[in-house]
């Protein structure tokens, strides 16, 4: 009977943590903090649609609890969404990541052209190369992270997001 109760307790704790794969559901926010590496925003100069662009970066999660990037804010954009790439009709297309983007404990997540990204839409200003864009990332644990991302040249194909992609490799 005691064993059954223990198992039930474990299941409940895991359910509350919102992640069945977390080995240590009691991780606290006192642990190592999330950080961001290499943030940048694609310039709108020369873009086919200059009302939108995307931000890319790497999120490092040194903690022992999984976390999700659930949103972002940018004063220069009226609408900001977290996007993921999915296969639709044999093409990789972007769509809003309704549950956010998963950053595993002790690991990291790359947001890159052709992969998951932060979509900045209804821009209030153009972004020229060399500009600095202020972003605030929002995470599933309630924490936020302020990021300053330099604007860089867009070296990918113009319609990269809607081009067929042979083998998506989301891992590092
Ligand atoms: Cu997008």
Taking residues 133-159, what's their average pLDDT?
88
Calculate how far, in angstroms, residue 2's C-alpha sits from the geometric centre of ligand 1: 50
Helices (H), 53-160: none
Q: What distance in Å separates the CA atoms of residue 165 and residue 153, rounded to the nearest whole number?
A: 22
User: Residue 162 contacts by C-beta under 8 Å, 6 or more apart in sequence?
Assistant: 91, 92, 93
Please say whether the beta carbons of 68 and 140 come within 8 A: yes
The reported pLDDT for the residue numbered 159 is 44
Decide which of 162 and 102 is more confident: 102
Please say whether the beta carbons of 37 and 148 come within 8 A: no
Asked whether the predicted pLDDT for residue 23 surpasses 50, the reply is no
Calculate how far, in angstroms, residue 30's C-alpha sits from the geometric centre of ligand 1: 33
Taking residues 79-101, what's their average pLDDT?
94
Calculate how far, in angstroms, residue 94's C-alpha sits from the geometric centre of ligand 1: 5
Beta bridge partners of 56: 40
Phi/psi for 8 (5° steps) reads -60, -45
User: For the segment 34-74, what is each residue's pLDDT rounded down to a tens digit?
Assistant: 999 999 999 999 888 999 999 999 999 999 999 999 999 99
Q: What distance in Å separates the CA atoms of residue 132 and residue 7, rounded to the nearest whole number?
A: 51
Calculate how far, in angstroms, residue 81's C-alpha sits from the geometric centre of ligand 1: 7
Average pLDDT, the chain: 81
Taking residues 9-19, what's their average pLDDT?
42
Taking residues 10-28, what's their average pLDDT?
43
Calculate how far, in angstroms, residue 74's C-alpha sits from the geometric centre of ligand 1: 15
Structural domains of the chain sorted by starting position, each given as residue range(s) with its CATH number in brackets: 28-154 (2.60.40.1890)
Listed residues: CB within 5 A of ion ligand 1: 83, 94, 119
Q: What distance in Å separates the CA atoms of residue 159 and residue 47, rounded to the nearest whole number?
A: 10
Helix count and strand count (H, E) for the chain? 1, 10
Decide which of 90 and 5 is more confident: 90
Say if pTM beats, i.e. exceeds, 0.75: no
Taking residues 145-169, what's their average pLDDT?
66
Q: What percent of the chain has pLDDT over 70?
A: 72
Asked whether the predicted pLDDT for residue 83 surpasses 90, the reply is yes
Asked whether the predicted pLDDT for residue 105 surpasses 90, the reply is yes
Asked whether the predicted pLDDT for residue 156 surpasses 70, the reply is no
């Amino acid at each position: 009977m005691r064993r059954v109760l223990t198992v039930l307790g474990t299941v409940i704790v895991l359910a509350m943590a919102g992640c069945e794969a977390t080995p240590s559901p009691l991780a606290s926010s006192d642990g190592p903090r999330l950080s961001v590496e290499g943030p940048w925003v694609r310039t709108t100069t020369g873009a086919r649609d200059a009302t939108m662009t995307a931000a890319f970066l790497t999120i490092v999660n040194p903690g022992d609890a999984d976390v999700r990037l659930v949103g972002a804010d940018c004063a220069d954009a009226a609408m900001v969404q977290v996007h993921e790439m999915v296969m639709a009709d044999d093409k990789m297309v972007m769509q809003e990541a309704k549950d956010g983007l998963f950053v595993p404990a002790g690991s990291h997540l790359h947001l890159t052209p052709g992969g998951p990204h932060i979509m900045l839409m209804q821009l209030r200003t153009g972004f020229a190369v060399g500009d600095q864009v202020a972003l605030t990332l929002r995470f599933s644990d309630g924490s936020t992270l302020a990021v300053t991302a330099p604007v860089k040249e867009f070296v990918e194909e113009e319609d990269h997001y809607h081009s067929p992609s042979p083998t998506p490799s989301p891992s590092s």
